[in-house]
Chains A and B, each alone.
Chain A
């Protein structure tokens, strides 16, 4: 029966070459193979986000008088509403974590080297978009925590000279965080970012398909016979297995640690003590907090943000900066840079939690 379906399509669209190609796709098996899964997990989680997000969209309403109430409605009155909302939020957090792990594993394996520079580029762009997803989505419940976290977070762009105020107004849709900000973030979160992300993701996946999986440099230069397994169906089924485990883990988190709604945002109340952004922004927040008010003739925050900007740019340009990798050579300085970056991220995230 399936061959009849196949023939119907094949007569019209010539897909057998595509199938041949996919049947031939192989995944190298080596000590580092386990890291291959993280890209797939990120993809799975993105799909989950889209699905749960679409479902939540059926009941979510935008507006300072409606957002909080609609989520309260979802959580308390819609059947399994609490579940889908918690899944969406947990999955978001897990996705950020997974993407960061994916980034570092790719980095330390130098998988960004020739010929995969654009794969890295699209990946880093997606990382920034994932953080934008997180930042915009966080405001949508319009509760106390998210309101003030957004306020503090958007405030930081004011440090930029000349364009700072304009950027602030652009982000907030005005001088303050209001319902206009909410609409703006909502549009960003459900339309602009998903569209852009899907396009870049498609490119990223296309590149991976075209070029196959990158192998560790040592492996690539060795002459020993390569062990591989076919992607379809072996690795695909392993992927599915991993996804099932992740899925169950998410369900466990949602059932045993459901997300609270908190109290509704009151723009005229003062910020609660110890307001913090989401954990993946915490390292920036904490680092900026610890900078002195002035460094030389410049404002401390500006210096911090500039360094951050330089760091971000360096991250994007890694394949072009690491010349050695193009020749399959390991430049230890990049290992050090990566370790420092990871350490900085970890340490300042922890500090952000334990200090006030």
Chain B
């Protein structure tokens, strides 16, 4: 306690000195690359601050080699393992140095796949890169070089909502894509307001909705073969795909080399240019099946063939159902507005009927009247039940009118009696005067 005062002053100072020296020492140890390059390449350094690798404690040297402890340009000598910025054709190997090494990756993220480079070499990008085309996408094209974030992070360039724009940065630029002879309107088609998957992804923020990579693959990106588009769609649209596979259309479409699901479900399908709007998948309506101009069947079928008659039968039934549906909705709304109890009918409409209609939409994909009709009958029966309930409720209107008439009559009688009484009293008073 003798030196208490001095202790209290000196000890914190000493601690602070020790602390700052060690920290700055440690920072200085990492900072040498960053210390210089912060002036020379400020964008890169800023981007790297928000990077999955820097968060894992990996520095510039971890990828680019060199000795980060050296404060000058001697850090970048070959004898220190310096690689520098890789040339485009070398990028897959550059990243693959770690990412294709399961043993190494296990130290950081055991569940992260390590087959990206292998897949990449099977992709269209990889194939062209092998042949010497340096314009194609490499790892850094999509993942960026220095601000690499996991696809689960919303501001990552490969987060589902950002994937279309990332792909479009090359694929939508006509001048860049000119040598390849493929369309550059995929992004425009995908972001069209009528695109059902684009709407789900961008407007509804449903990250389960497919972006480019879900159908084309991530690292093994290739357009799915015409015969396998259906399989790809089936990953989500399981029942529709299964029914289609077992329908006569599968063989026909494969023979014609027309994309299975995507042909009919694109906007304004045209058999003379079957893949024109293959990326503009629109929300299907029941009018897609039929023989009028809004329907797609007439692209291949003509009057007289089996397909034509099936389409006609299906669309006629569906039209009747649609009319009934509109009537049911109107009826229930009308009735509910006036205060009638129709929760049972609503339950049917929102439950059984809605579900049956969804089943019907799926059942269509067998393109078979025999399997369609039972499902149709189910929907029809359910709708009939709804209409009956609605009409029952409406009958109550009569009950209300009846009550009104009864009470009006009674009131009228009373009013007349009162008037007569009043007149009588007036006479009585007159007599009294």
- A residues in contact (CB < 8 Å) with B: 75-77, 81-83, 85-86, 229, 233-234, 237-238, 240-241, 244-245, 247-248, 251-252, 255-256, 258, 260-261
Contact = CB atoms under 8 A, between A and B. Distances in A.
Chain B, interface residues (CB within 8 Å), range: 20 to 34
Contacts of B401: 255
Nearest to B337: A260
- Say whether chain B's binding surface is mostly helix, strand, loop, or mixed: helix
Nearest to A86: B339
Given A237-B421, A244-B411, A252 B341 contact: no
Interface of B: 336-343, 400-401, 403-404, 407-408, 411-412, 414-415, 418-419, 421-422, 425-426, 429
Contacts of B338: 82, 258, 260
Interface centre among A86, A248, A256, A258 (most CB of B within 10 A): A248
Interface of A is mostly: helix
Contacts of B341: 76-77
Given A75-B339, A76-B340, A233-B425, A251 B418 contact: no
A113 to B, nearest CB: 30
A252 B421 CA distance: 26
A87 to B, nearest CB: 12
A83 B404 CA distance: 11
Nearest to B338: A258
Contact of A82 (B339, B343, B411, B422): B339
Contacts of A245: 415
Report which residue of B339, B401, B403 has the largest number of chain A beta carbons within 10 angstroms of its beta carbon: B339
A326 B388 CA distance: 69
Contacts of A83: 400
Given A76-B339, A76-B340, A258-B339, A241 B404 contact: no
B339 A244 contact: no
A127 to B, nearest CB: 29
15 contacts: A76-B336, A76-B342, A77-B341, A83-B400, A86-B339, A234-B429, A237-B418, A241-B418, A241-B419, A241-B422, A244-B418, A248-B412, A251-B408, A252-B404, A256-B404
Contacts of B426: 234
A247 B222 CA distance: 78
A169 B345 CA distance: 44
B414 A244 contact: yes
Given A241-B418, A248-B412, A252-B408, 9 more contacts: A76-B336, A233-B425, A237-B422, A241-B415, A245-B415, A248-B407, A248-B411, A255-B401, A258-B339
Contacts of B411: 244, 247-248
Contacts of A251: 404, 407-408
Contact of A238 (B336, B340, B408, B422): B422
A242 B403 CA distance: 21
